[in-house]
């Protein structure tokens, strides 16, 4: 109560006081650039991802552009200790995506290297994916993949640096015969998702890959 009084929750865009469970006010919510993708149909994300990996389905909640409200939201989640934003983004997903048909078998999050996890204090995907797991009744696996190479945050890299994450991930157990829904925050070059997908596909049999991201950089 005292914390809420001293540090009231404000809209990320207009700075108006809002409920502590929200991140933007109702007026500014209209400024959020939702993708309007359909998870089961062709969309710009699946078209881009299919150039690198075999993809069953794909969905991006937001369109990520510089100086946009979507960028503010993601940056607050990742770099300003606003971990609970993940729950709000997950709720936005569940309002827009029905996974009842062709339901994935397992939700898998992109891991952080232990150094980055220690520095940040949390993986920004965990609350997000846990909320999705509870809603859709699909198990989530946070340790199926291990990050074995440490690098700077994607947002701080140039394009050539983003393409140098090959062999950065390692599969920790067998997942033959599963339909995996890979979960990440922002899809940029697709290099992270591609490397993870090929690590899974190269070390497993009869596996299908789908993608769900918080935002897609156009």
Does some domain include residue 5?
no
Domain of 37, CATH number, reads: 3.40.50
User: How many helical (H) and strand (E) elements, i.e. helices and strands, does the chain have?
Assistant: 9, 7
Using an 8 Å Cβ cutoff, are 62 and 213 in contact?
Answer: no
pLDDT for res 102: 83
Which domain does 62 fall in, by range? 32-217
How many whole angstroms separate alpha carbon 102 and alpha carbon 145? 23
In a domain, 85, yes or no: yes
26 part of a folded domain: no
- Tens of pLDDT, residue by residue over 164-218, are 556 789 999 989 999 999 999 999 999 999 999 999 999 999 999 999 999 999 8
83-94: pLDDT as tens digits: 999 999 999 999
Mean pLDDT of the chain: 90
Is 50 a domain residue? yes
What confidence tens digit (pLDDT) does each residue in 6-37 have?
A: 568 999 999 999 998 899 999 999 999 999 99
Q: Answer for the pair 136, 166: CB distance below 8 angstroms, yes or no.
A: no
Q: Which of 144, 70, 133, 68 is nearest to 104 (CA)?
A: 133
Residue 27 lies in a domain: no
DSSP code of residue 141: E
What's the average model confidence in pLDDT over 134-163? 75
Assign 49 to helix, strand or coil. helix
Q: CA-to-CA distance for 192 and 80, rounded, in angstroms?
A: 23
| In-domain check, residue 126 | yes
59-86 mean pLDDT: 95
Per-residue pLDDT, averaged over 88-114, amounts to 94
Cβ atoms 187, 196 nearer than 8 A: no
């Amino acid at each position: 109560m005292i914390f809420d009084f001293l540090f009231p929750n404000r809209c990320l865009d207009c700075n108006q006081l809002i409920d502590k469970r929200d991140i933007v006010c109702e007026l500014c919510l209209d400024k959020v650039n939702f993708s309007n993708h359909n998870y089961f149909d062709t969309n710009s994300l699946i078209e881009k991802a299919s150039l690198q990996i075999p993809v069953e389905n794909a969905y991006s909640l937001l369109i990520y552009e510089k100086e946009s409200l979507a960028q503010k939201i993601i940056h607050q989640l990742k770099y300003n200790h606003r971990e609970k934003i993940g729950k709000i983004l997950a709720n936005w997903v569940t309002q827009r995506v029905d996974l009842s048909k062709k339901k994935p078998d397992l939700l898998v999050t992109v891991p952080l290297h232990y150094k980055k996890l220690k520095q940040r204090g949390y993986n920004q995907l965990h609350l997000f994916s846990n909320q999705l797991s509870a809603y859709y009744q699909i198990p989530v696996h946070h340790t199926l993949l291990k990050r074995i190479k440490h690098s700077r945050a994607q947002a701080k890299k140039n394009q050539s640096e983003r393409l140098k994450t090959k062999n950065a991930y390692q599969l920790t157990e067998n997942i033959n015969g599963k339909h995996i829904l890979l979960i990440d925050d922002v899809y940029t070059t697709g290099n992270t998702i591609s490397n993870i997908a090929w690590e899974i596909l190269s070390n497993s049999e009869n596996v299908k890959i789908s993608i769900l991201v918080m935002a897609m950089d156009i």
